[in-house]
């Protein structure tokens, strides 16, 4: 069996989008896909090293969540599959690519690499190599927002935090502890489970006694939603309500986005565990092709307009690669720099 859970139904009429908004969403998803494809090329050409986990197929989740928030103002906390989250949050493609090359101009000054992207300026709280690590960090960010507003009287403190993690992480203790704390204190946070069906090589349904992750929200008295993670408008619709609740002081929301990664767990993964039938089933639901069709069918864009965006994005990514290759390596004399905060 390819899947036991049908994708949630979604009516386009419930998620009307303007041409400007639609093009922004399309631009963001194409940037993520094009960037990741270029990363694969650089890795296999021996220009990029270490562990590199790509996001192909899951773009509707990153775009649907982050672009519905306030990119660069609200907080985003990621996983080791963090490149596209950083791009959606506004971190320039040049800085992300340079970081993957380990260069001084990278967003983490070449110290983080693929799994540890960070940008204080863009409220990107980091990528984390170990599952579950980012959930407490995100919960802490949401707590400080609430504390600044309610205890310190800072009316400008209305930020929402999005914590991304995978289906495998939902069996981790930090998941349960943080959801409990967030519900108890009504923190302005959205917990986003990117359920791509596989935790490295373990199928989700074989690893958990309760496969429907969104239902775990019931234990903490918070809303839990299941959404088609291959439909950017469906994700956007659910996140709009979650953001509204968070800013209104109504507390956290758990969202389970049913999605799929088109590549193996990492670029070093031969991806032999997943069946050809399963892959083809999900490839047919490509979120970018799906949204492209929506845009043209609803007269929000022409094929020529979308192709022009594709071309522009390719130029941005090519420029990012050249910038990364031309950038300097970190200075060995600065080995201990950035360990502690500097005045």
Which segments of the chain have a pLDDT < 50? 1-3, 9-14
* 3-state class percentages of the chain: helix first, strand second, coil last, to nearest 5: 45, 10, 45
Instruction: Return the pLDDT at 16.
Output: 81
294 in Cβ contact with 233 (< 8 Å): yes
**Residue of 14, 18, 4, 87 lying closest to 238 (CA atoms):** 14
Distance in angstroms (rounded) separating the CA atoms of residues 218 and 341: 40
Give just the sign of the alpha carbon dihedral 337, 100, 162, 172.
negative
Q: Domain 17-285+300-321, CATH 3.40.50.970 — does that match?
A: yes
Query: What are 28's two structure tokens?
Result: 């963001």
Element (H, E) at 184: helix 173-185
pTM of the model: 0.94
Instruction: Return the pLDDT at 1.
Output: 37
The predicted-structure confidence for 95-148, as pLDDT tens digits, reads as follows: 999 999 999 999 999 999 999 999 999 999 999 999 999 999 999 999 999 999
Count other C-beta atoms under 10 Å from residue 6's C-beta.
8
Nearest-Å Rg of the Cα atoms of the chain is 19
Distances (CA, A) of 38 to 26, 94, 265: 18, 13, 17
Domain range list for the chain? 17-285+300-321
Strands annotated E in the chain: 75-77, 161-166, 189-195, 198-199, 202-203, 224-228, 253-258
166 in Cβ contact with 195 (< 8 Å): yes
């Amino acid at each position: 069996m390819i899947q036991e859970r049908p994708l949630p139904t979604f009516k386009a009429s419930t998620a009307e989008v303007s041409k400007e908004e639609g093009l922004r969403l399309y631009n963001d998803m194409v940037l993520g896909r094009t960037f990741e494809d270029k990363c694969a090329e650089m890795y296999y050409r021996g220009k990029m090293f270490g562990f590199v986990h790509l996001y192909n197929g899951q773009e509707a989740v990153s775009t649907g969540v982050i672009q519905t928030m306030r990119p660069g103002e609200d907080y985003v906390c990621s996983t080791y599959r963090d490149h596209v989250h950083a791009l959606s949050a506004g971190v320039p493609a040049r800085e992300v690519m340079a970081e993957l090359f380990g260069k001084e101009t990278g967003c983490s000054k070449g110290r983080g690499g693929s799994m540890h992207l960070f940008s204080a300026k863009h409220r990107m709280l980091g990528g984390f190599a170990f599952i579950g690590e980012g959930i407490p960090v995100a919960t802490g960010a949401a707590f400080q927002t609430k504390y600044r507003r309610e205890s310190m009287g800072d009316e400008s403190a209305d930020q929402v935090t999005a914590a991304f993690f995978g289906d495998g992480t939902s069996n981790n203790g930090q998941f349960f502890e943080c959801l409990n704390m967030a519900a108890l204190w009504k923190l302005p946070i959205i917990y986003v489970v990117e359920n791509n069906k596989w935790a490295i090589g373990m199928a989700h349904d074989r690893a958990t006694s309760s496969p429907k992750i969104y239902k775990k929200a019931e234990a903490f008295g918070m809303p839990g939603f299941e959404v088609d993670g291959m439909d950017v408008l469906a994700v956007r619709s659910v996140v709009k309500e979650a953001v509204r609740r968070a800013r209104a002081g109504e507390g956290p929301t758990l969202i389970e986005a049913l999605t799929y990664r088109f590549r193996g767990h990492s670029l070093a993964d031969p991806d032999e565990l997943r069946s050809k039938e399963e892959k083809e089933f999900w490839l047919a639901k490509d979120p970018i092709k799906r949204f492209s069709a929506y845009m043209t069918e609803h007269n929000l864009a022409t094929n020529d307009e979308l192709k022009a965006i594709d071309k522009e994005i390719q130029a941005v990514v090519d420029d990012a690669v050249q910038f990364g290759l031309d950038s300097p390596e970190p200075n060995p004399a600065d080995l201990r720099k950035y360990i502690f905060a500097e005045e």
